[in-house]
Amino acid sequence: MRLKIAVLAGDGIGPEVTKQATNILRAVAEMGGHEFTFVEGLIGGTAITETGSPLPTGTLDAALECDAVLLGAVGDNKFNALPPDKRPEAGLLQIRQALGGFANLRPSIAYTALSASSPLRPEVTKDVDILFVRELLGGLYFGAPRWWDRDSNEAINTMRYTRDEVVRVARVAFELAGNRRQKVTSVDKANVLEVSQLWRATVTEVAKDYPSVTLEHQLVDSMAMHIMNIPRNFDVVLTENLFGDILSDEAGVITGSLGMLPSATIGGAVNLYEPVHGSAPDIAGTGKANPLGAILTAAMILRHSANLEQDAKAVEAAVNKVLDAGYRTADIARGQQPGQTPVSTQEMGKLV
């Protein structure tokens, strides 16, 4: 298997965690006889410092020639005085847009060893393994018209979807569910919103092509409660843009730490993989960053861009094993509990 991966490490802890993620990919390549090549590119604050732009054209061109993009994180307080479209974060928005992925995948997994890190009771989070499939290019965040009229004090955003936009993201959800526990929960507000009625009708139609997958519909408000009460009832959760933004953050609580959460955005020119966390300037350079979110993101590259499901599972199993053995970066350590060994970013990566 050959894979060319653009590595855009970015700012703060971005380079620290992506280094551990690429080490894992190198190890997988070596053990499996795969040929992975890495192309480094600038993004964010480091790109501004070196080139004046948060997303230099060289970075975008290189990314478009790769099979996958691994992005660390962007953001640096020293650029706070710049207008929003010149700041490091603009580079992230630009590359997401340029790559054009429409399906954002966010797993929410309960690690037994970390059950004390979640505010939810262990008996509630036990065995939870949810995969959110969030539509990323439509809905309220992009719909027109959108404006704020400061004279009349009125503002408008538009929730809009076409059938085709729903079909393509629904297919992603059903395909993924086929390799998991064969269940899709589609989230909407069909009792109030026309857009949700279109969503529900379209998802129901797409489901007919996947007879082995069970489809259930949930209204977004009650879904917000179910995720906290009975999270293990869910496998793949399919949502429009805004609902998925909110629910996937809510479900992040199940895993316990921001530093543990991976993501992938697929369906565009090149898939984009990023840990959910930001550049964490408060801990950058201290060796405290948890690299597991980035490492689990690398596992998603193996699964979704290399079709190496067994290798992806092996990486995830290694993460579990290291956690079960008690190794903890600071964000997932809880006091001085017996059986826990504090480790640095680099040590954690090496252990995995």
Q: Which residue is nearest to Mg ion (CB)?
A: 245
Selection from Mg ion, ligand NAI, none that 135 binds (CB < 5 to 8 A by kind) is none
Selection from Mg ion, ligand NAI, none that 262 binds (CB < 5 to 8 A by kind) is none
Under the criterion CB under 5 A, does residue 245 sit at the interface with Mg ion? Answer: yes
* CA pseudo-torsion sign 24, 26, 28, 30: negative
Among 236, 289, 300, 319, indicate the residue that binds ligand NAI (CB under 6 A): 289
Annotation says 61 is catalytic? no
Annotation says 189 is catalytic? yes
Under the criterion CB under 6 A, does residue 75 sit at the interface with ligand NAI? Answer: yes
Annotation says 311 is catalytic? no
Selection from ligand NAI, Mg ion, none that 9 binds (CB < 5 to 8 A by kind) is none
What track of x and - describes contact with ligand NAI for positions 263 through 282 (by CB under 6 A)?
Answer: -----------x--xxxxxx
Contact of 251 with 243, CB cutoff 8 Å = no
Among 25, 62, 68, 74, indicate the residue that binds ligand NAI (CB under 6 A): 74
Q: Which of 19, 86, 249, 350 is catalytic?
A: 249
Specify burial of residue 281 (Cβ count, 10 A radius: 0-12, 13-18, 19+).
middle
Under the criterion CB under 6 A, does residue 293 sit at the interface with ligand NAI? Answer: yes
Residues written for the chain: 352
Q: Which of 245, 273, 311, 331 is catalytic?
A: 245
Minimum CB separation of residue 70 from ligand NAI in Å reads 12
Report the residue number, 96 or 303, with the smaller CB distance to ligand NAI.
Answer: 96
| Selected range binding ligand NAI among 19-27, 174-182, 235-243, 289-297, rule: CB under 6 A | 289-297
Residue 282 labeled ligand binder: yes
Distance CA 310, CA 317 (A): 10
Q: 328: part of which helix (H) or strand (E)?
A: strand 327-328
Annotation says 324 is catalytic? no
Residue 232 labeled ligand binder: no
Minimum CB separation of residue 249 from Mg ion in Å reads 5
Selection from Mg ion, ligand NAI, none that 73 binds (CB < 5 to 8 A by kind) is ligand NAI
- Residues at the site binding Mg ion, with contacts judged by CB under 5 A: 245
Q: Please enumerate, by residue number, every residue annotated as part of a binding site for substrate.
A: 96, 106, 134, 221
Give the interface with ligand NAI as residue ranges (CB under 6 A).
13, 17, 73-75, 89, 92, 258-259, 274, 277-283, 289-290, 293, 331
Annotated binding-site members: 96, 106, 134, 221, 245, 249, 278-290
Q: Which residues carry out catalysis? A: 141, 189, 221, 245, 249
